[in-house]
Amino acid sequence: MSAVLDHAPALQNSMLPSLQEIEDAARVVYREFQATPQYRWGLSSQRLGTDCWIKHENHTPVGAFKLRGGLTYFDGLKQRGEMPKEVISATRGNHGQSIGWAARAHGVPCTIVVPHGNSVEKNAAMRALGLTLIEHGDDFQASREFAMALAAERGAHMVPSFDAGLLRGVSTYWWEFMLAVPQLDVVYVPIGQGSGACSAIAAKLALGRKLRIVGVVSAHATTYADSLAARRVVEAPVTTHLADGMACRVADPAALAILLPHLDRIVKVTDEEVAQAMRDLYADTHNVAEGAGAASFAAAMQDRSQLKGQVVGTTLCGGNVDTATVAKVLAGA
C-alpha cells in the first residue's frame, strides 16, 4: 500500500477533476437541484471567535452532499454507453441515498447493503427511493465486502464509495463554496471514505486557491489519521456511536494518495465534541446536523484559539440523523 501513497501525483492526475470537468459536473447536478447556500452565521462566528461560514449540504434533496457524486457517476456511465442492468453498493446511508436516487432516475434496479444496527431513518429514506435494502455485517467494511461478493455473483455493477466519477460531482460543492466565499483562509472537512476531502482539494487546485484544508476524523474511527501518519493503509477499529458517516475501518489507498500531500493536518473529534457541535449548530442556525455533519464545526471549535482573524469554512455536510438521536443529543444525553 505504501507504494500507492508514494505515487500520489500520478493518482491526482488520473482522479482529480479539472476546472472544466467540475463546471460540466455542475450542469449535471443542477438538473436535479440548484447550488446549496452558505452563510456567515453570526452566533457561530461569535462562538468560534472569528468569521465562520457554513456550507449547507443538508439542503440537497437527500439531505447530504453525496447526491452530487451519484448523479455524475451515473451520467458518466450513460455517456460511455455502460449503463448496467443492476447496481449494488454499500453504505451507512447517504451514499446509498445518492446511488438509489441516481439509479431510479436512470431506471436501473439498485440494491444497497448496510450494516446491522444502521440508522432506522436513513434505511427508511433509502427504501423510499425504491431500492432493495439488505442488512449484513457489523460495520461498513463488512457490508462493503458482502456487496462486492454479491455484485460478482449476480453480474451486477458494484458502485464504489470512492471513485473519480463520484469526485467530479462532489467537487461541485466545494467549488460553489470557494467561489461564493473567496476570502476563506481555512476549511474543515470531515473524512469518511475520503470523497469530500479529496473534492475540496480538487476545487482548491482547480480554482488556484491558497486556503488550508484540515481533515477531520472521528477519534473513534482513526484509519485515515493512522494511515496518513504511516503512509500506508492502517486498519483501525470503529467505536463511534454518533458519527456514522465517518465510521470507516479501512482507508481507501487512492484517497490517501490524494490527501497526503494536500491536507494541512488532521483533527480528531470525540463523540462528545460532535454532540456539542450538533447542539451548537442547532442553537445558532436551527439546522439539524448528523454526527458527520457537525464534525467540521467541532474541529474548528477545538482549534478556535488558533483561528482568530481568519475566515473559517465549515460544512454541514449532512442532516440525516434519527429523531430519537437528535432528541437525546439536544437534551444533553
DSSP string, 75-96: HHHHHTT---S-EEEE-SSHHH
Task: Label residue 12 by pLDDT band (50, 70, 90).
Answer: low
Average pLDDT, the chain: 95
Q: For residue 14, what pLDDT is reported?
A: 77
Q: Cα dist. 147→119, 151, 156, 193, 294 in Å?
A: 18, 6, 10, 16, 29
Query: How many of the other CB atoms lie within 10 Å of CB of 304?
Result: 15
Q: Quick check: do 2-65+164-330 and 66-158 share a fold? A: yes
Q: How many whole angstroms separate alpha carbon 72 and alpha carbon 227? A: 28
Selecting from 3.40.630.40, 3.40.50.40, 3.40.50.1100, 3.30.70.20, what CATH number does the domain 2-65+164-330 have? Answer: 3.40.50.1100
> Counting beta carbons within 10 angstroms of the beta carbon of residue 31, is it exposed (0 to 12), middle (13 to 18) or buried (19 or more)?
exposed
Please compute the mean of the pLDDT values over residues 96-121 and round it to a whole number. 96
pLDDT of residue 32: 96
- Predicted confidence band of residue 333 (pLDDT cuts 50, 70, 90): confident
Is residue 222 packed enough to be buried (19+ CB in 10 Å), middle (13-18) or exposed (0-12)?
buried
* Contact yes or no for 204/178 (Cβ under 8 A): yes
Domain coordinates in residue numbering, the chain: 2-65+164-330, 66-158
Say whether pLDDT at 1 is over 50: no
Query: pTM of the predicted model, to two decimals?
Result: 0.94
Q: How confident is the model at residue 219 (pLDDT cuts 50, 70, 90)?
A: very high
What radius of gyration, in Å, describes the C-alpha atoms of the chain?
Answer: 18
β-partners of residue 265 are: 214
Q: What sign for the dihedral angle of Cα 243, 245, 249, 250?
A: negative
Residues 198, 189: Cα–Cα separation, whole Å = 9
Domain 66-158 in this protein, CATH class? alpha beta
Cell triple for 259: 490527501
pLDDT of residue 6: 57
